[in-house]
Structure 1
């Protein structure tokens, strides 16, 4: 069963058109966030930049979407959550993750985190680690978000600090017991695992009744 909450349906062709159009814009806004965090320009330059950003904001707000921020891909049935704070293609605060799925159900992503996700100096904020792992465990547990499974509990073990820069997140299904799917995963840098995670994902009552 695919998850269906009355999402607007988008064709593969239209999805690709929007991806090509908006993905670079999101990347540019993400770079702007990072630049804003680290800039040390003088007051005049800061005010000039502020005015430019406000003008761009007004330009983008000139026309707003009238459909939901989550669409359903016509071919795959997969939800496409443009605004999702973990993987939203049009959400610049989302870590720049692209989720891949293997035939054995394993989900993974290689990505890099900048200073916008910093907690202690030089290290990824622990809450961002939790966000990434909650999402990728959910991807694995729900067969790429095509089956209704929601986080019941998630347990994290922070083995050491997670440095900013290149990382890999990975998850897989450990076992299934009735309406509960147990998933495991990790966050890793070049030197090995930094955070381990276990999650229980539960099929909602309405999906059980439908099945």
Structure 2
């Protein structure tokens, strides 16, 4: 097996895995939200804890070693299901789904609803969560423009508090210079932009060498 590529499975197998794990992961997200907001009596909490510990033990009977990584792939596609922002199997992920939209280079949009698990100040999104989401969005924009890279720097300006609840995120590429891509983005709440970001994404040397070894002339667009 090539260590640079995830295991290959068919699109049908990929769809089956997604159909199995997406609702399972969402159920865990609901559990996290319920854990934060429950007001049941102590006996119920202790009973629930015992049930959760038993379920955890069952799931640990068979598991991968270390992080999940890009575990599945078809063709040149990677499925980072363990990713903390977009991972289909990661209950920490909202999850965020960026889609191409708009007229600007590499422009992507996403709609996301952030609940109690993402709270910083009371009723507001933690500033670090905004940074996390914008890092992903700007990276998605760079990838959509066929100029992907890893984050070299990310600068944020917090314009106003970001409320919990439904939010819109936008990102786009301003320009690229060789293997460097400059992108911008923002979080938009009900009263307008709350956080703005600018970042530099650099395709590392090992990735450039890998593409050259494969004879690739350009990078295919990706959104995760």
Common topology (TM > 0.5): yes
1:112/1:165 contact within 8 Å kept: yes
Gaps of 5+ in 2: 213-224
Say whether 1:170 aligns with 2:147. Answer: no
Give the 5 Å matches for 1:4-153.
5-65=4-64, 68-71=68-71, 73-75=73-75, 77-102=76-101, 105-143=106-144, 148-153=148-153
Kindly indicate whether structure 1 or structure 2 has the higher relative contact order, using CA contacts under 8 Å at least 6 residues apart. Answer: 1
Aligned residues: 206
Q: TM-score normalized by structure 2? A: 0.85
Range with greater deviation from structure 2 (199-208 or 180-189): 199-208
37 and 13 in structure 1: CA distance in 2 versus 1, 3 angstrom threshold: same
1:10/1:74 contact within 8 Å kept: yes
Q: CA deviation at 1:153?
A: 0.5
Cα deviation code 1:91-128 (max 9, x no counterpart): 10112222212485211210100010000000000000
Gaps of 5+ in 1: none
Partner of 2:194: 194
97 and 160 in structure 1: CA distance in 2 versus 1, 3 angstrom threshold: same
Distance 1:208 1:25 in 2: 37
Q: CA deviation at 1:40?
A: 1.7
122 and 68 in structure 1: CA distance in 2 versus 1, 3 angstrom threshold: closer
Q: CA deviation at 1:194?
A: 0.5
Q: TM-score normalized by structure 1? A: 0.90
Distance 2:36 2:100 in 1: 33
Taking only aligned residues, the RMSD between alpha carbons, in angstroms, comes to 2.1
Distance 1:100 1:55 in 2: 38
Q: CA deviation at 1:70?
A: 1.1
